[in-house]
Amino acid sequence: MTIRIVTDSVCDIPKATSEAFGITVVPAYVNIGDESYLDGVDLSRRQFYEGLPHYSTAPTTAAPAPGAFTEVYDRLAAEGAGQILSIHVSSSLSGILNAARLGSEATDSVEVQLFDSQQLTMGLGLLAITAAEGAIAGQTMNEIVATLNKRVERTYVIGLLDTLEYLRRSGRVNWATFGLGTLLHIKPLLRVHKSEVTMLEKVRTSKRALIRFLELAGELGPLENIALLHTHVSQQCIQEFQQQTRFLVPEGIEPLIVELTPALGAHLGPNGLGIACITRNNIT
């Protein structure tokens, strides 16, 4: 029985990679003013980030319509999928999983297993790839889900934002709305683990922020997989970041370097850096 993997554009998996793994990506919406764009289809990352500091109203994001998921499930069923694993951005941060659920309830063409990754960006991406590897290797749905459940425990995203302003404006994270960073410029160090967004540190200078970021990443111990993340930084900055994070990269892994989807960038702002990773051991 063929198992196909469906995810959403918040996964940030580059197109070539998703195609190689046979992962179907359903785009979310990015609203700028009264215009609504399909993430990655109608709106390129470059267009978005270059405009981001200048939009008169803050861009917002919206889940794909349930019908978009129904269409994808029906299409994959028609292509011969026996079962579908639909893995999505953390349900506590987005309504996408719920839209997928409603979409799956609207069709009988195929059995859809929903999975809350409790992650975002390549945290979700690495888990979706894990699922696809399982499917390719012929694992059963139960085996794939069991593997995912274990990996979720060991999946982390750590990010260094240039400003709290966008996060505060977006209102997605309670503590960020609490006036913090409205007066002094603060560069927050954030961690996402099992749906929980934590501010690890508040730092005021870029140099200090990067040092602490690398220290905190190092404290995760040996990694199984890693991807490098950024929101619209220069090519030179990416290269430097690659050097600085080299010590984190496990042998035999060539980390994907990903510019975050506008659906996340709208909440994080430009000039952010980060990693998504799966650790080798559980961290207590």
Strand order in the sheet with 83-88: 23-26, 3-8, 83-88, 111-116
DSSP letter, residue 80? T
Q: Is 51 near another protein (CB under 8 A)? A: no
Q: Is 202 near another protein (CB under 8 A)? A: yes
Q: Is 179 near another protein (CB under 8 A)? A: yes
Surface-to-core class of residue 61, CB atoms within 10 Å of its CB (0-12 exposed, 13-18 middle, 19+ buried): buried
Q: Is 36 near another protein (CB under 8 A)? A: yes
Among 21, 22, 38, 65, binds another protein (CB under 8 A): 65
Closer by beta carbon to another protein, 45 or else 202 = 202
Q: Is 205 near another protein (CB under 8 A)? A: yes
Stretch that binds another protein, among 40-48, 124-132, 205-213, 223-231 (CB under 8 A): 205-213
Q: Is 178 near another protein (CB under 8 A)? A: yes
Stretch that binds another protein, among 26-34, 121-129, 134-142, 240-248 (CB under 8 A): 26-34
Q: Is 66 near another protein (CB under 8 A)? A: yes
CB of 113 vs another protein, minimal distance in Å = 17
Distance between CA atoms of 61 and 183, rounded to whole angstroms? 26
Stretch that binds another protein, among 28-36, 44-52, 148-156, 237-245 (CB under 8 A): 28-36
Which amino acid is located at 275 in the chain? I
Q: Is 140 near another protein (CB under 8 A)? A: no
Q: Is 171 near another protein (CB under 8 A)? A: yes
Among 16, 54, 56, 183, binds another protein (CB under 8 A): 183
| Tokens matching residue 102 | 């409603």
Distance between CA atoms of 168 and 186, rounded to whole angstroms? 12
Q: What angle do CA 77, 80, 84 make, to 5 degrees?
A: 50
Residues 85-104 that bind another protein (CB under 8 A): 91, 95, 98-99, 101-102
Query: β-strand 256-259 against 223-231: which pairing, if any?
Result: parallel
CB of 103 vs another protein, minimal distance in Å = 9
Name the one residue in this structure whose structure tokens are 């889900």.
145
Q: Is 191 near another protein (CB under 8 A)? A: no
Phi, psi angles (nearest 5°) of residue 108:
-110, 5
Core vs surface per residue 248-264: b (16+ CB within 10 A) or e: bbeeeeebbebbbbbbb
Stretch that binds another protein, among 73-81, 139-147, 176-184, 221-229 (CB under 8 A): 176-184
Q: In Å, what is the CA distance from 23 to each residue of 130, 132, 214?
A: 11, 7, 31
Closer by beta carbon to another protein, 167 or else 248 = 167
Closer by beta carbon to another protein, 142 or else 236 = 236
Strand order in the sheet with 155-160: 196-203, 187-193, 155-160, 272-279, 223-231, 256-259
Which residues contact another protein by CB under 8 A? 29, 31, 34, 36, 57, 60-63, 65-68, 91, 95, 98-99, 101-102, 106, 168-171, 174-175, 177-186, 201-208
